[in-house]
Amino acid sequence: MSEILASTFVLAVNDIEVSKRFYLEKLGFAEDFSVDGWAFLSRGACKLRLGHCPDAMPMAHVPDHSWFAYLHVRDAAGLYDEIVKNGVAIWHKLADKPWGRREFAIVTPDGHRIVFGESLAEVGR
């Protein structure tokens, strides 16, 4: 069977400069490069392509559970502290879940929801 080697999330954003600054300054992403109407960003194994779509319906108008990503992380508590310190809007506070994950979720300026989770079996290793 063929193997999936990586993933990239492609997001429509209303204001590419505002969104790019959010990911760079608040979430610690790096800008790999930009071309007209697109910004290519990354942090660790997570890759993003932000596409400037000024007329797109903001994701804030989509019902709950409309996440765009669930990111598996190491040290969810440390990342949570970093993100809170940076003033990011928290959708769900850091909590240990009955399905064995320590999770929290944020909301981006465009209303995209990102969930970060760590296996409770890995916490403290």
**40-99, pLDDT tens digit by residue?**
999 999 999 999 999 988 777 776 656 678 999 999 999 999 999 999 999 999 999 999
CA distance 44 to 18: 22
Average pLDDT of the chain is 90
CATH of domain 8-119: 3.10.180.10
Q: 15 to each of 28, 97, 108, 125, how far by Cα in Å?
A: 19, 34, 12, 40
Closest of 40, 8, 11 to residue 107, by C-alpha? 11
Residues above pLDDT 90, as percent of the chain: 71
3-class secondary structure per residue, the chain:
CCCCCCCEEEEEECCHHHHHHHHHHHCCCEEEEEECCEEEEEECCEEEEEEECCCCCCHHHCCCCCEEEEEECCCHHHHHHHHHHCCCEEEEEEEECCCCEEEEEEECCCCCEEEEEEECCCCCC
The pTM assigned to this predicted structure is 0.86
Q: Domain-by-domain residue ranges, the chain?
A: 8-119
CA distance 67 to 85: 23
